[in-house]
Every structure is written in structure tokens, then in C-alpha cells.
Amino acid sequence: MRDDDTIGDQYAHEAPTGRSDDTPSSVQVGVLRGTEAAPSLRTRLGALINPLTRRPSRVALASGVVCCLGVAAFAGVQALPADRLDPVAAQPALTERAQEGAASRGQARTPVTATPTPAASPTASPSPTATKKAKPKPKPKPKRIAPVAGLDQAQMDNAKAIVKAGRKMGVPRQALIIAVATAMQESNLYNYASGVLPESQNYPHQAIGWDHDSVGLFQQRPSSGWGEVRDLMDPEYATQAFLSALLEIPGWQDLALTDAAQAVQVSAFPWAYAQHEWRATEVVEAILA
């Protein structure tokens, strides 16, 4: 038997449930050598071993808690980023972050101006008066004068056109009577086209004549310089052409109606105009009334 077995047996009564190998080897060596610290170590060892041996459940619980804490600590260490685990390796990254922060603070900031959203203006409901379009006033119908002096309506309308054109020129009443009497003799107050000039039939007309190239109310000839066919077929133009020629005759106001008309028309029957004087006068008075 070895000496350490004797020592183990000597203290076996103090830890009956424990094992001899639970005692640290350093303590055992100290006891064998008989050092001065042996009594105090034995006392401390007995105080430590006895409670633990008496409470095996507490020992197991303490061991489990320590193991759990160790696993949690290991997991926490694994979750940390590399720069936090290794201060030396993290130094460049920290320096770069610091430089970025300094640069961003040093740069001039562009103020952000919020563009206000225009408020939707309420749609004004159109007023009933605005939505209704004003009806255009109908043009007044020209006053239609009843025929007099044995004329029909077409003849009366042509006489009215002669008077209207003369009034635009501002000629006196006597010139209007001469013009109406001349048209009574030349065309019987109908707007004639010419069978010799087919072009004249392309314009509004009421009859067709064959007296050379004479056309219109006054039977004026384009070949004689009175104007273009399209113009002479217009009652207003034809009247103004006649009156312009009449006004150029010196003293026309003092001439007899037939002589004044003949001076303009140069007809083969110069006395024929006189027979229409009274009728022309009645028609002009009815139109001017």
C-alpha cells in the first residue's frame, strides 16, 4: 500500500460519497510532504467538498448553467462582425467611415425646395345664360314693294335695284327716273342674256335676246366698251355704268328725258324713251316713298 492510499483512507469519513481523485493533485502532494499549509488546505477542502457531495443536484444544475452560458457566449462571438472581433482588421473600415462622415459634413448642401402642389381650382359651373348661345338675329328681309304702273314683281324688283344703285352714287331724283325709263325701253325691265354671247347665260337672267351682243337691263354691248359680260349682267353695275355716262353729259338736267337717254344710249329710235316717262316717275316715287 502507498502512503497516499493511507491518507485517502484517513479522510474518507469526511467525504463518504465522494471520490479520492476529486482532490487536486497539488493538495495531495502537499499533504504527503507534510507542509505547514496542509491543515488549512484540508480544512478548506473539506468545507468545499462536503457541501458539493451532499447536494449533487445543485452541482448538476450549476454545471448546466455554465454550459448554457458558454454556448451563448460562443454564439454571440460568432455573430459579431469581423471588424469588432479584430480591432486591428477593423481599423481601416473605421477610418474610412470617419473620412466619409467628415466629407459629407464638409460639402455644401443643396437646399431641397418642395414644389407646392397647385390646389385644384373648383370648376366653375357655367351659368345658364353663358351656356345658351345667343341666337343670331335674322337678317331683315328686304322690303318688297308692290308693283305699280302695270309692272309685275320681277320688273318692280329690277326697278328697285336701279333706284338703290343710283342712291349709292348720290344722283338726284331726275337721274333715277331717266334710268328707269331707259330700262323700260331697252329691256322692258327684265335682265336679258344674249343668244349671241353664251357666256351671258351663265349668270342670273330672266330672258334671252338676240340684238347683237347687247346684255342686261340697259342692253349694253361689251364690244362697245361698256364692260365685261359678267359685270353687265349685274343690275347694280349696269345701272352705275349708265348713270356715270349720263352725269358726263353737260346740262343733262335741262334736257328732255328722251334726249338725255338718247345721248347715252345712241339708239336707232331716239324718241322711244319719252313714252315711258310717266310710268318711270310713278315707279320711282313708289320706291322712294
Mean of the pLDDT values across residues 134-161? 88
pLDDT of residue 91: 52
Q: Cell 507542509 appears where? A: 35
Q: Which amino acid is at 49?
A: I
CA terminus-to-terminus distance, the chain: 173
Asked whether the predicted pLDDT for residue 279 surpasses 90, the reply is: yes
C-alpha cell at 191: 335682265
117-122, long-range: CB within 8 Å, 24+ apart, which pairs? none
Model confidence over 12-51: pLDDT tens digits? Answer: 444 444 444 444 444 343 433 444 444 454 455 455 444 4
Asked whether the predicted pLDDT for residue 11 surpasses 50, the reply is: no
Determine the Cα–Cα distance for residues 257 and 265; give it in Å rounded to an integer: 12
pLDDT confidence band for 137 (50 / 70 / 90): confident
Determine the Cα–Cα distance for residues 273 and 262; give it in Å rounded to an integer: 8
Q: Which amino acid is at 97?
A: R
pLDDT of residue 20: 43
Asked whether the predicted pLDDT for residue 63 surpasses 90, the reply is: no
pLDDT of residue 272: 96
Measured in whole angstroms, the distance separating CA 171 from the mean position of its chain's CA atoms is 58
Asked whether the predicted pLDDT for residue 214 surpasses 60, the reply is: yes
Which tops the pLDDT comparison, 118 or 152? Answer: 152
What is the average pLDDT value for the chain, to the nearest integer? 73
Instruction: For residue 244, give Cα distances in angstroms to 158, 268, 281, 284.
Output: 19, 22, 20, 19
SS3 93: helix
Which tops the pLDDT comparison, 166 or 130? Answer: 166
Q: Contact at 8 Å (CB) between 238 and 217?
A: yes
pLDDT of residue 6: 41
Which tops the pLDDT comparison, 69 or 241? Answer: 241
Q: What is the largest CA-CA distance in the chain?
A: 191
Determine the Cα–Cα distance for residues 188 and 186; give it in Å rounded to an integer: 6
C-alpha cell at 219: 342692253
Mean of the pLDDT values across residues 236-249? 98
Question: Model's pTM, two decimal places?
Answer: 0.54
H or E element in which residue 207 lies: strand 207-209
